[in-house]
Structure 1
Amino acid sequence: MSEEAKELKKELAKRKRMAIDIASEIHDIVEDSLWVDYNKMPGLAEKLVVAVQEANQFKAENGL
């Protein structure tokens, strides 16, 4: 595997990780503090959608 391909895969993993971190934050709110932090959910949901779209777009643009 070329160095460029490795870097692209590393960048894709980074982008996926960002989405997973947001999803994890949503999970924590649902599991632990829904009744207090429910107002954070719409903003987090929007961030999650954007993060997943960006990761999928990067993947498509780079043939991964």
Structure 2
Amino acid sequence: MQQEEALKELDREVKRLKRIASEWAGQLHDLVEDRLPASYEEIPGIAQSTYDACKAWADANARLKAASTNQGN
């Protein structure tokens, strides 16, 4: 039962991190669509934040998949 709760919590975390990654991706998209080339200096910061958010999601998603697989055993 406790393991099931941990899985649910991890699933919520994955969903939260995916939302954050999507928000950063949207900011990057808006920069490209609406503000370039004038705001080119914003590229590194927004790109790094987008990368970091996507990496955090990918790491959490990998933990969720591993935990889900282990629960099945």
Q: Shared fold (TM-score greater than 0.5)?
A: yes
Q: Deviations over 1:4-58 (max 9, x none)?
A: 3322211101101111111100111111111222211111111111111111111
Gaps of 5+ in 1: none
**TM-score, with normalisation over the residues of structure 2?**
0.71
Aligned residue for 1:60?
62
Aligned residue for 1:37?
39
Please point out which of 4, 21, 24 is paired with 1:22: 24
The alignment of Structure 1 onto Structure 2 pairs a total of residues equal to 63
Gaps of 5+ in 2: 69-73
| C-alpha distance in structure 2 between counterparts of 1:33 and 1:47, whole Å | 18
Aligned CA RMSD, in angstroms, stands at 1.6
| Segments of 4+ moved more than 4 angstroms | none
Question: The residue matched to 2:38 in structure 1 has which SS?
Answer: helix
